Amino acid sequence: MTNQTAADATLDPALEAEVREIAKRAKVASRALQNATSGIKNDLLNAIADALVGSAEEIVAANTLDMERGRERGLTPGLLDRLELTTERVASIASALREVAGLPDPVGEIVRGSTLENGLKLKQVRVPMGVVGMIYEARPNVTVDAAALALKSGNAVILRGGSAALESNRKLVQIIGDTLEAQGLPRELVQTVDEYGREGGVALMRARGLVDVLVPRGGAALIQTVVLESLVPVIETGTGNVHIYVDASADLDKALPIVMNAKTQRVGVCNAAETLLVHEDVAEEFIPRAYAALTEASVNLHADDRTRNLVPGGAGIASATETDWETEYLSLDLAVKVVSSIDEAIEHIRTYSSGHTEVILTESLAASEQFVDEIDAAAIMVNASSRFTDGGMFGLGAELGISTQKLHARGPMGLAELTTTKWIVNGHGQVRP
Amino acid sequence: MTNQTAADATLDPALEAEVREIAKRAKVASRALQNATSGIKNDLLNAIADALVGSAEEIVAANTLDMERGRERGLTPGLLDRLELTTERVASIASALREVAGLPDPVGEIVRGSTLENGLKLKQVRVPMGVVGMIYEARPNVTVDAAALALKSGNAVILRGGSAALESNRKLVQIIGDTLEAQGLPRELVQTVDEYGREGGVALMRARGLVDVLVPRGGAALIQTVVLESLVPVIETGTGNVHIYVDASADLDKALPIVMNAKTQRVGVCNAAETLLVHEDVAEEFIPRAYAALTEASVNLHADDRTRNLVPGGAGIASATETDWETEYLSLDLAVKVVSSIDEAIEHIRTYSSGHTEVILTESLAASEQFVDEIDAAAIMVNASSRFTDGGMFGLGAELGISTQKLHARGPMGLAELTTTKWIVNGHGQVRP
């Protein structure tokens, strides 16, 4: 745990004051969208999409400056790839915007309501948060995506993107601002604090009372920093140390494709599997089959001794250490362990789970019920791949991330998670007895 | 804003380690209630109520020690009154416990669910948070109340009460622990860190990952400290700088009883009115009437000049300052201002509102809609007293407090706010395409 927090970080007071002014302008601007119809918001998003496509050359030119600087600074090919914008990528960002425009609008939903005995009419209505802050890394597509989700849910947004994408983000925000103005809306609905660098992000985290919620999007280190440093409430997304437990009664013909899908379909994502636990009753049959298929798919195993002893040449498999049980590899690596009982599997998961997704493969009703009851995670899969924990797969629409916290949102988050509610009470002169 | 936060407070590492052990034991103990039926939980609460009544003499004896120390330390009569336990008060605490036992159990509710095209069966189910922390002041009744709400919602709780109530709380927690054991449940479901003093509270605020949510209950200073210092997610309850706006089209015969009820029915509560805004078109008629009734009820006004000029002898009324507009008096004081328009009223409220409850009195549909749309608060009342913002009044049952934050809970909070959800997905071998 760091001892350095946003509250005590040395921060230039003039800079902090400027960021607070930005946040105040965002709050005022947010009122323009607070009661806007879905039609107005959708037209806006479609207009931004048009503007981006129309300005694709300018955007790519700005991005070229970032790319050049990135190469000079020696960014890895992976980071450069995430940073790069091409005309095709701009078109795909625009098409994601149109998709958000097509999603149902959460604002205005009546969550519950009733008429009390005394005649008071109560309703709890979904309303925008107000001002949303987003802190993310050098992926310029997130700039547009974050703005789209915030605007569609009726909020103003303040962005803090990775410094490597400075020029790209500046251009994107300028185009969004111009479109807002052309639609008769304040350009302060979408602002950035990128020009203030890292301190801008810190000032944003300290703007409690002005920024209603902060959503960090990116790697574990970024999210952890924001969670620990922020005075503004945070929605934590992220880490998935996902386990698959193959029970004694698992149907091994179903189990193997699920393990392969969960581990190899896409490795760098939070809902990919990281540890495989196999009940000893089926280990002798399952482990060699899994080993063959996983090795074929270039997966490196990190296994306990019982596993290694079940595989011909298993001495060549890396011995799993404590670190392996704790690690979200996000790569073609998988920790493997043989357990003596479902209780041991549950205990292992309780110790190492990040509370994202946990999977049991079993044909036993009792085992599935025990696992579902006793495991505490955002999502629990019975006989299905962990890769299904996803807003789109769940039918919730565009995804803001997968929350692994318990407050406000847990699991895949959609537009509704960027809203809050208010109670509206209609009377005709009632007083409390 | 304080620069001293929980993350950097100097804290004895041995003490922090002990508190973390307490939190770990709470986490393990919480599993005993995680899937307990409502019957088991209700029996437990009723048994605790019986035990408290049966041990009333012991409780009062322990409390006498606190009272004596309190008198020696020169606690005010008000604080001593809050601290005091009598046989009657113990009976009333027990009866509050039985009421919580009678509330509907939020755990197990299926929040939503569906069957996807690929046959996956999804349900989102309400489950306990796990470990709840409560930080409060020297009111021993809160010790039992907090434990009851946590247990009924299936959680373990770690308490940090005011040091003035140390002996009372120790006795209460001991009785609760004995009852838990007698019911075959771990006594670590209800623990305190009171013996560690203020540092115990700080260690609790730092126990991120072990404590799932912290709920501060008490005065504004306590809540503010916890909100700013805690690394554990906090549910903020509290401050109510409540406004009543009497519109140009208000029915003044309805308005006066509402103003009187909101200001005088109970003054020390967050849903009491603190500022009265009156439209200039009705000020000449309404202000003198309100002044007479409020003065009769011993309410001190703090008014702007327009108000003071409308009252005979109004020069004797205190002139309202910026501080008056900002203050939640929690006393027989009321700030009063004449406004020229509903827009001015809304602007004033936007500037000074704490986002708790705001009231409009009007017969105009347009005015009521504008107010409801443009004001951002947990509750908005049209032609009703602000005193109705209350879990009991709203029909939500026992109240944990009134949330003025936008995340997780907004407005009156009941048992459901001490729960989270998990997604349970049942398949038969599906993998992600």
Shortest distance, CA A65 to any CA of chain B (angstroms): 38
| Helix, strand, coil % over all residues of chain A, rounded to 5 | 50, 20, 30
Instruction: Answer whether residue A299 shows pLDDT above 70.
Output: yes
Amino acid at the residue A111: V
- Count the Cβ atoms, other than its own, within 10 Å of residue B95: 12
CA A235 to CA A223: how far, in whole Å? Answer: 9
Q: Which residue in chain A is spatially nearest to B350 when comparing CA positions?
A: A28
Shortest distance, CA B328 to any CA of chain A (angstroms): 17
> Which of A231, A381, A424 faces B425 most closely, judged by CB atoms?
A381
> Which of A387, A411, A425 faces B381 most closely, judged by CB atoms?
A425
The larger pLDDT score, comparing residue B252 to residue A397, is at B252
Closest CA to B45 of B136, B124, B119, B149: B149
| Cα of B44 vs its chain's centroid, Å | 24
Stretch A119-141: mean pLDDT, rounded? 94
What pLDDT score does B392 carry?
Answer: 85
> Which of B382, B405, B429 faces A383 most closely, judged by CB atoms?
B429
What pLDDT score does B9 carry?
Answer: 55
- Domain B13-237+414-423 and domain B242-393, same fold? Reply is no
Shortest distance, CA B202 to any CA of chain A (angstroms): 14
Stretch A40-62: mean pLDDT, rounded? 98
A–B CB contacts, 8 A cutoff, strictly below: 226
What pLDDT score does B139 carry?
Answer: 87
Which contacts qualify for B71-80: CB closer than 8 Å, 24 or more apart? B73/B164, B75/B164, B79/B138, B79/B164
* A410: enclosing H helix or E strand: none
> Which of B251, B380, B388 faces A432 most closely, judged by CB atoms?
B388
> Which of A208, A228, A427 faces B382 most closely, judged by CB atoms?
A427
Beta bridge partners of A318: A302
Q: Tell me if B332 sits within 8 A of B246, measured CB to CB.
A: no
**Two tokens at B326?**
């900002």
CA A195 to CA A116: how far, in whole Å? Answer: 52
What pLDDT score does A3 carry?
Answer: 39
**Residues of A with Cβ-Cβ distance to B115 under 8 angstroms:** none
Shortest distance, CA B67 to any CA of chain A (angstroms): 34
Task: Dump pLDDT digits (tens) for A259-280.
Answer: 999 999 998 889 999 999 999 9
Mutate to test the interface with A, among B388, B400, B405 (most CBs of A within 10 A): B388
> Which of A376, A383, A425 faces B428 most closely, judged by CB atoms?
A383
CA A428 to CA B251: how far, in whole Å? Answer: 10
Contact at CB, A407 and B406, closer than 8 angstroms: no
CA B406 to CA A408: how far, in whole Å? Answer: 9
| Pairing between β-strand B190-192 and β-strand B156-160 as defined by DSSP bridges | parallel
**Residues of A with Cβ-Cβ distance to B384 under 8 angstroms:** 120, 425-431
Instruction: Answer whether residue B266 shows pLDDT above 80.
Output: yes
Q: Which residue in chain A is spatially nearest to B10 when comparing CA positions?
A: A3
Mutate to test the interface with A, among B206, B423, B426, B428 (most CBs of A within 10 A): B423
**Residues of B with Cβ-Cβ distance to A3 under 8 angstroms:** 7-8
**Two tokens at B58?**
């012991």
Task: Dump pLDDT digits (tens) for B8-61.
Answer: 557 899 999 999 999 999 999 999 999 999 999 999 999 999 999 999 999 999
Contact at CB, B407 and A235, closer than 8 angstroms: yes
> Which of B5, B389, B430 faces A384 most closely, judged by CB atoms?
B430
Q: Tell me if B176 sits within 8 A of B190, measured CB to CB.
A: yes
Query: What whole-number percentage of chain B has pLDDT above 90?
Result: 85
Query: What whole-number percentage of chain A has pLDDT above 90?
Result: 85
**Residues of B with Cβ-Cβ distance to A260 under 8 angstroms:** 431
For the structural domain made of B242-393, what CATH number should be given? 3.40.309.10
Task: Dump pLDDT digits (tens) for A238-248.
Answer: 789 999 999 99
CA A273 to CA A259: how far, in whole Å? Answer: 8
Query: What whole-number percentage of chain A has pLDDT above 70?
Result: 97
What pLDDT score does B1 carry?
Answer: 33
Stretch B228-245: mean pLDDT, rounded? 90
Task: Dump pLDDT digits (tens) for A157-171.
Answer: 999 999 999 999 999
What pLDDT score does B10 carry?
Answer: 77
> Which of B213, B428, B429 faces A406 most closely, judged by CB atoms?
B213
Q: Which residue in chain A is spatially nearest to B428 when comparing CA positions?
A: A383
Query: What whole-number percentage of chain B has pLDDT above 70?
Result: 97
Supply the mean pLDDT for chain A.
94
Contact at CB, A429 and B258, closer than 8 angstroms: yes
Q: Between 3.40.50.2000, 3.30.450.20, 3.10.450.40, 3.40.605.10, what CATH number should domain A13-237+414-423 receive?
A: 3.40.605.10
**Residues of A with Cβ-Cβ distance to B3 under 8 angstroms:** 7-8
**Two tokens at B293?**
């009734």
Most confident of A381-385, A388-392, A412-416, B224-228: A381-385
Shortest distance, CA B223 to any CA of chain A (angstroms): 14
CA B4 to CA B229: how far, in whole Å? Answer: 8
Shortest distance, CA A38 to any CA of chain B (angstroms): 15
Contact at CB, B432 and A387, closer than 8 angstroms: yes
Q: Which residues are within 8 A (CB) of B309 and not within 5 positions of it... i.e. 6 or more apart?
A: none
CA B228 to CA B230: how far, in whole Å? Answer: 6
Contact at CB, B378 and A422, closer than 8 angstroms: yes
Cα dihedral B376, B382, B386, B391 in deg (nearest 10): -80
Contact at CB, B430 and A383, closer than 8 angstroms: yes
Shortest distance, CA B311 to any CA of chain A (angstroms): 25
Shortest distance, CA A192 to any CA of chain B (angstroms): 23
Dump the DSSP string for A124-184: EEEEE-SEEEEEE-S-HHHHHHHHHHHHHTT-EEEEE--GGGHHHHHHHHHHHHHHHHHTT
Shortest distance, CA B244 to any CA of chain A (angstroms): 13
| Structure confidence at residue B312 as a pLDDT band (50, 70, 90) | confident
Stretch B327-346: mean pLDDT, rounded? 97
Stretch B219-245: mean pLDDT, rounded? 89
Contact at CB, B31 and A1, closer than 8 angstroms: no
Contact at CB, B261 and A3, closer than 8 angstroms: no
Q: Which residue in chain B is spatially nearest to A381 when comparing CA positions?
A: B425
Q: Which residues are within 8 A (CB) of B2 and not within 5 positions of it... i.e. 6 or more apart?
A: A7, B225, B228, B229
Contact at CB, A432 and B385, closer than 8 angstroms: yes
Shortest distance, CA A309 to any CA of chain B (angstroms): 28
Secondary structure, 3-state, B2-51: CCCCCCCCCCCHHHHHHHHHHHHHHHHHHHHHHCCCHHHHHHHHHHHHHH
Residues belonging to chain B: 433
| Structure confidence at residue B418 as a pLDDT band (50, 70, 90) | very high
Closest CA to A401 of A196, A222, A187: A222
**Residues of B with Cβ-Cβ distance to A379 under 8 angstroms:** 422-425
Q: Which residue in chain B is spatially nearest to A425 when comparing CA positions?
A: B381
Supply the mean pLDDT for chain B.
94
Secondary structure, 3-state, A4-52: CCCCCCCCCHHHHHHHHHHHHHHHHHHHHHHCCCHHHHHHHHHHHHHHH
Task: Dump pLDDT digits (tens) for B168-209.
Answer: 999 999 999 999 999 999 999 999 999 999 999 999 999 998
Shortest distance, CA A386 to any CA of chain B (angstroms): 8
Contact at CB, A257 and B431, closer than 8 angstroms: yes
Instruction: Sketch the domain layout of chain A as residue ranges.
Output: 13-237+414-423, 242-393
Closest CA to A92 of A144, A128, A41, A130: A144
Q: Which residue in chain B is spatially nearest to A211 when comparing CA positions?
A: B406
Task: Dump pLDDT digits (tens) for B120-167.
Answer: 999 999 999 999 999 998 889 999 999 999 999 999 999 999 999 999
**Residues of A with Cβ-Cβ distance to B372 under 8 angstroms:** 424
Contact at CB, A34 and B374, closer than 8 angstroms: yes
| Cα of B229 vs its chain's centroid, Å | 19
Mutate to test the interface with A, among B247, B425, B426, B428 (most CBs of A within 10 A): B425
Amino acid at the residue A110: I
Contact at CB, A382 and B427, closer than 8 angstroms: yes
How far is the CA of B169 from the CAs of A77, B59, B139, B173, B349, in angstroms? 60, 9, 9, 6, 40
Cα dihedral B250, B253, B254, B256 in deg (nearest 10): 100
Stretch A319-330: mean pLDDT, rounded? 96
CA A425 to CA B252: how far, in whole Å? Answer: 19
CA A32 to CA A41: how far, in whole Å? Answer: 11
| Structure confidence at residue A296 as a pLDDT band (50, 70, 90) | very high
Shortest distance, CA B363 to any CA of chain A (angstroms): 9
